[in-house]
Chains A and B, each alone.
Chain A
Amino acid sequence: MHMWPTSTNRRAVAAISVAGLVAVGLAACGSSAPTASSQVPLSAKQTVVFATQGLGSEGTATMSAVKAFEKLHPNITVQILSLSPTSDVAFEQLTQRFTAGSSTPDVITSDVIWPAQFAQSGWLANLVKFHPDTSAYFTGQMATGQYKGGVYAIPWFINAEGLYYRTDLIKTPPTTAAALFGDAVAAMKTDHALKEGLAFEGDKYEGAVTAFQSMGGQLTPSALTNINTPANDGVLTMMYDAIHKYHIAPTAVSTWEESQVQNAWLSGQTPFALNWPYIFALSDAKGCQPGCSAVFGKTGWVPFPNPTGAPQASLGGDDLAVNARSTHQAAAWAFIQYLSSASAQIARAVAAGDPPSVKSAYGSQLYAAAPYFQQEQAVFNAATPRPVSPVYTQISSQLQAMITSVLSGSSTPSAALSSTGPTITQLLQTVSSGG
């Protein structure tokens, strides 16, 4: 019996283990992406990988849409790749796959602020070759998928931020910022169940930027070249005053995200709350949980009154896009067409509360199943996109710091604007000069 292998065997063992490692290494390097010429035709049997977020009813709605699509196209199997429900983490997961040059996922769900950045990086397929009908969707959201003359993303469902108000406490929704503040102060005086007058998200994350924009902050591409304007100063001052002057918003809003605003609203402790349409499904839907009894049947929703101009509801929502390295682009496009069709969107709106991005979906069929969508349209018509820019995430990071520094009182609106302005200008110049 040999405890040790013979010398020949020893060398063989060592050689095999090294060779094994090298093989693994080579295999890892060998998975380079196929070229565009190796496209799989639509009729071939194939699997399309769909990267998407969505838990609970959204996830279920996605699954039933996938099943319906597979029935229409028996040769195509759709495989779901789950992304994190946290937007920033999902963004990281996608960029890591893209930077690695992966040919999957074939179809991605993209937040409306990502397509410009992904397209600039060369990661998204230009969908112009499939002749998409860009006029079918809400204009603001369609713009989020268009970059440098190309179409890189198709709207899936729209989201816009508006002002919820308690119809039992506020008889007519305010149309000016001054009226809103007055109503909030008066409501807090008369109804002692109210802990605050206005709830909004002010934590240092994307929500602070959408709140700023929904209240009237100017973030159009031309406005970004000089953000230090009286209009932006006015909005920041209004946010500051709500907390520190009129005391209608708690100081804690500077740590609040959507969920805290949602809790404040559903528990009936605020007459006004700035939030997204999903609140309707929670507070006014047929299946209202016991937790929302304080607001059931008392929910109204309007665009937030802009102190210096027309109301603008910050546009959110999700787009659908195709990986530039995907070899299943025809099937991917068929899948996107199905998901963005009016019938599929109505089914999703009813099942999961996601508002359709395609305008033709708004009609009797939708209103019969979910009447509150009628109120939502007014807010969607005011929907204003955030800047479509490849450096948006950096601009947003600057804006988040600017807004939270004002909310915490550590800098004045004008000081915050004048220190943030040059950084944003520099970022925009970096892009236009090509790095």
Chain B
Amino acid sequence: MTAREEPAVPAGPASLAPPEGAATAAAIGGPRRQGSYSLAARDRRFGYGLVAPAVIVLLAITAFPLVYNVWISFHNAWYLFPTTFSNFAGVKNYKELFTGGQFLPSLYRTLGFTVVSVAVELVIGLALALALNRKFRGRGIVRAAILIPWAVPTVVSGLLWKSMFDPQNGFVNYILTQLHLPLAHSTWLSQTWTSWAAILIADAWRNTPFMALLLLAGLQVIPRDVYEAAKIDGAGAIRTFRQITLPMLKPALAVALIFRTLSSFLIFDVIYAMTGGGPGNSTQVLAYLNWSSMFVQGGNYGLGAAISVALMVMSLVIAAIYVTSFRTEQVV
């Protein structure tokens, strides 16, 4: 119910109505009685008052920590040294990223994992989405069932996969042995490359359904008649896919890729649960390094904050690359 329909509201003092408020009200609703202008302005002001608590909370829990984190990254904030705590440190923490010997290797690992995992999840997810977009009996049940891995908490799925990859009691080696396949005697989480394979499988198992779901939503909004026209024109399945499905799926693809790339780039829980960054540091990724330098390795908050800022900047760059590349292609 709007104030206009409520005649019982008394008009407040005229000074309460600022000129811009009156102008807006006029622009939106056309000419009104004098009382409505001030009423609209007061409504708006009341509206601000009502959203203010929410805005303040949001600022307090998002904007403030963000700014504070940037501030910390330029200061000494290692609690082992109470006397120099919160002294200005300049770019010391950022320098340490490059001289400390852990940041760059972790960055390369993270980027490598992101590219591979997103590519794998995209291909499988797209195939799943195309399959689920066809009509078949029990489609509703299959669509619901495919989401089950995604509904499992990440740490739980990480621990689940860790036990499945257990060389003695695990399900993976059991199946491989039964089928007389190679790698049946692998100790998956004891070697660098098999660890990565295990992490990739666990991550793809959980996140591919999400990718498939987003792409399926994109497929469903493509109008049927475009396909019918293509059929009449004699286009084959591959040509239809390349020239109709893919271009029209682009918005959904963009969303799915941005989501998955960023969450792959920030992967933490699966690695925390499965390998703890090991063996050695061979599966240590940036988010893991960030957490461990802040909370495990003696609480160097300054260094941890610098890693956080670096992660944030890189995430923004990745998002910007996606947004601009998808936008320009759409114009063409």
Measured as residues with beta carbon below 8 angstroms from the partner, the interface class of chain A is 35 or more
Is there contact, CB below 8 Å, between B189 and A255? yes
B220 at the A interface (CB under 8 A): no
Residue of A nearest to B3 (CB): A4
Dominant secondary structure of chain B at its interface with chain A: loop
Chain B residue contacts of A423, Cβ below 8 A: 101
Chain A residue contacts of B136, Cβ below 8 A: none
Chain B residue contacts of A88, Cβ below 8 A: 296
Is there contact, CB below 8 Å, between B297 and A255? no
Task: Pick from A136-144, A306-314, A371-379, A389-397 the stretch touching chain B.
Answer: A389-397
Q: For chain B residues 44-92, which have a beta carbon within 8 Å of chain A?
A: 45-46, 48-50, 52-53, 56-57, 60, 76, 78-84
A115–chain B nearest beta-carbon distance, Å: 13
Is there contact, CB below 8 Å, between B298 and A394? yes
Chain A residue contacts of B56, Cβ below 8 A: 18, 21
Task: Give the distance in Å from the alpha carbon of A342 to the alpha carbon of B31 in the complex.
Answer: 90
Question: B10 touches which one: A6, A203, A252 (CB < 8 A)?
Answer: A6
Is there contact, CB below 8 Å, between B192 and A410? yes
Given known contacts A121-B79, A254-B187, A411-B280, is B6 in contact with A397 (CB within 8 Å)? no
B176–chain A nearest beta-carbon distance, Å: 15
Is there contact, CB below 8 Å, between B49 and A13? yes
B16 at the A interface (CB under 8 A): yes
B281 at the A interface (CB under 8 A): yes
A64 at the B interface (CB under 8 A): no
Chain B residue contacts of A18, Cβ below 8 A: 49, 52-53, 56
Q: Which of A88, A95, A404 has the most CB of B within 10 A?
A: A404
Dominant secondary structure of chain A at its interface with chain B: helix
Question: B278 touches which one: A122, A393, A401 (CB < 8 A)?
Answer: A401
Chain A residue contacts of B84, Cβ below 8 A: 434-435
Per-position 1/0 for A148-184, Cβ under 8 A of B: 0000000000000000000000000000000000000
A131 at the B interface (CB under 8 A): no
Per-position 1/0 for A231-269, Cβ under 8 A of B: 000000000000000000011101100000000000000
Given known contacts A3-B6, A251-B187, is B277 in contact with A204 (CB within 8 Å)? yes
Question: B295 touches which one: A92, A391, A411 (CB < 8 A)?
Answer: A92
Per-position 1/0 for A175-212, Cβ under 8 A of B: 00000000000000000000100000001110000000
Q: Which of B168, B279, B292 has the most CB of A within 10 A?
A: B279
B166 at the A interface (CB under 8 A): yes
B149 at the A interface (CB under 8 A): no
Measured as residues with beta carbon below 8 angstroms from the partner, the interface class of chain B is 35 or more
Question: B42 touches which one: A10, A95, A391, A400 (CB < 8 A)?
Answer: A10
Question: B9 touches which one: A4, A92, A203 (CB < 8 A)?
Answer: A4
A43 at the B interface (CB under 8 A): no
Task: Give the distance in Å from the alpha carbon of A356 to the alpha carbon of B16 in the complex.
Answer: 76
Given known contacts A4-B3, A99-B299, A252-B167, is B277 in contact with A11 (CB within 8 Å)? no
Is there contact, CB below 8 Å, between B192 and A7? no
B191 at the A interface (CB under 8 A): yes
List the 5 closest A-B pairs by CB distance, nearest first: A14-B49, A204-B278, A405-B280, A408-B279, A435-B81
What 10 additional pairs, Cβ within 8 angstroms, besides A195-B168, A409-B191? A3-B6, A99-B79, A120-B80, A121-B82, A204-B277, A204-B278, A252-B167, A411-B280, A435-B80, A435-B81
Would you mind naming 8 contact pairs between A and B with Cβ atoms under 8 Å apart?
Answer: A13-B50, A17-B50, A18-B49, A121-B82, A408-B278, A410-B279, A434-B81, A435-B76
B→A interface (CB under 8 Å): 1, 3, 6, 8-10, 12, 16, 42, 45-46, 48-50, 52-53, 56-57, 60, 76, 78-84, 101, 166-168, 187, 189-192, 275-282, 292, 295-299
